Structure 1
């Protein structure tokens, strides 16, 4: 039997908003498997358990650059340790400059970007210098570049959510799409783009819920399929109710405006990153022990 620690319970509670005791029970049943425990909570508590699933903890900024002709752009996420540094002028400038560099030079990956000439050295040497100046670790996490014959639009919310959209249509449509994506955070344009693992997880949760209903197998199968289809409509951009008019879907809005969308990039700062949780009391005790 895996040991269920207070830290594990705390982590699961932060991810799900579920009560402490429910978190402990789920972890015990899952033998310490965090992902399985979260799934168990969703089966038992429904949507309450997924409220904070997208909560992010790492700090930093999303940077965006679009050329004047709106046909070339880039989005980048650069992380730091605290929100305070994310507001530092030097850090903000670094993020903006590197986003433009990505657009101009089209590096293959973070390693290639880090090696590019920049200011008096390379991107990586400037990053290292900034670390020394600010006193906090800084990492380039990810980026994406789009060059198109159509148009690009972007939206940044508070520096923490960034969207880059490739579309055809009026400028207003691009702006509306970018803001909608930032607000609803779709996983893909349509069902074909949703990761198979996400669909499998939803199907598993639905099957477990349906099994508890005691209904006949054919009814259970319909319940499961209905739940999966509902999930896909909620997480695919074209199927979502348009934020400025929830009487129509995004797909219907685009048709009405004689517009289309090819792709989008959505970055949320720290998404999927586990931030270190410092135990101040433990640090003090360790410092005292070391001093003796």
Structure 2
């Protein structure tokens, strides 16, 4: 006899995955109520459906902002979807807000994905790594393998989609976006972002109180 799936089980699975109610129910039925297996199945399904939708044009969406406490750091991000209907959904706005917060937390991130990083930059990084003292005396093939590993790590550190999601480190931002593609049924793309740090790029004036007092005394 198959295990009866309760509304509480479905609600729990939905809160953990963001998948639709019927998808959660079917996943639980297929796994006889085992939450962990149902999550795994939904993620696999979401990744498959997201891959199919990834080439579809997404020109609707929202521009979301996040201002960190103290108002010294802010982020604006453009998140695109296919229709205005999805752009108005709460889940889509929550995703945009979470991505903006992620960008505020990950200040080394400069690109959305690795394929946006200029080839010239990558080649220069490879050149620098190949000449580092700690691997200089190693065989050529060993050096290349070490450098490849270091470069991949560096590129992932610089890209949004490869970051561990700050609210759930078990998934990366790319997984988060794909979960929402499965949930909302449309292609979703992070198009661009801008980070603002108060005073960045400005030459800050240094204040020398002793010198000011000295000037006041001798200029009387």
Q: Aligning the two structures, in what range does the TM-score lie when normalised by the shorter sequence?
A: 0.5 to 0.7
Aligned to 1:241: 164
Residue of structure 2 in register with 1:220 after alignment: 143
**How far did 1:175 drift?**
1.1
**Are positions 1:257 and 2:180 aligned together?**
yes
Question: Could you tell me how far apart the structure 1 residues matched to 2:120 and 2:214 are?
Answer: 43
Aligned residue for 1:150, secondary structure, equals strand
Q: Which has the higher contact order (CA 8 A, sep 6+)?
A: 2
Give, in angstroms, the shift of residue 207 of structure 1.
3.9
Following the alignment from structure 1 to structure 2, what is the Cα–Cα distance between the partners of residues 244 and 284?
A: 52
Hey, what does 1:187 align to over in structure 2? 110
Partner-residue secondary structure (3-state), 1:152: strand
Q: Where do 1:113-262 residues align within 5 Å?
A: 149-157=60-68, 158-167=70-79, 168=81, 170-185=92-107, 186-194=109-117, 199=122, 202-203=125-126, 206-208=129-131, 210-213=132-135, 214-258=137-181, 259-262=188-191
Cα deviation for residue 245 of structure 1 reads: 1.3
Distance verdict in 2 for CA 1:267–1:283, change over 3 Å: same
TM-score, length of structure 2 as denominator length: 0.55
User: Aligned-pair distance for 1:252?
Assistant: 1.1
In 1, Cα distance between equivalents of 2:72 and 2:161: 24
1:195, distance to aligned residue in structure 2 (A): 6.0
| Cα separation, 2, equivalents of 1:215 and 1:282 | 56
The 2-side partners of 1:256 and 1:249 are apart by 11
Structure 1 gaps, min length 5: 1-147
Q: Distance in 2 between matches of 1:282 and 1:203?
A: 48
1:272 equivalent among 197, 201, 218:
201
CA shift for structure 1 position 233? 0.4
Q: Is the 8 A contact 1:211 1:220 kept in 2?
A: no
CA RMSD, 1 decimal: 2.7
Secondary structure at the aligned position of 2:201 is classed as: coil
After superposition, the Cα gap between the structure-2 partners of 1:217 and 1:211, relative to the gap in structure 1 and judged at 3 Å, is farther
Determine if contact 1:166/1:264 at 8 Å carries over to the other structure: yes
When structure 1 is superposed on structure 2, of 278-287 and 194-203 the one drifting more is 194-203
- Structure-2 change in CA distance of 1:285 and 1:194 (3 Å): farther
After superposition, residues 92-111 of structure 1 pair within 5 angstroms as none
| Alignment partners' CA distance in 2, 1:183 and 1:172 | 16
Higher relative strand content? 1
Q: How many aligned positions are there?
A: 143
Secondary structure at the aligned position of 1:257 is classed as helix
* Cα displacement string for residues 71-123 of structure 1 (whole angstroms, at most 9, x for unaligned residues): xxxxxxxxxxxxxxxxxxxxxxxxxxxxxxxxxxxxxxxxxxxxxxxxxxxxx
Aligned residue for 1:270, secondary structure, equals coil
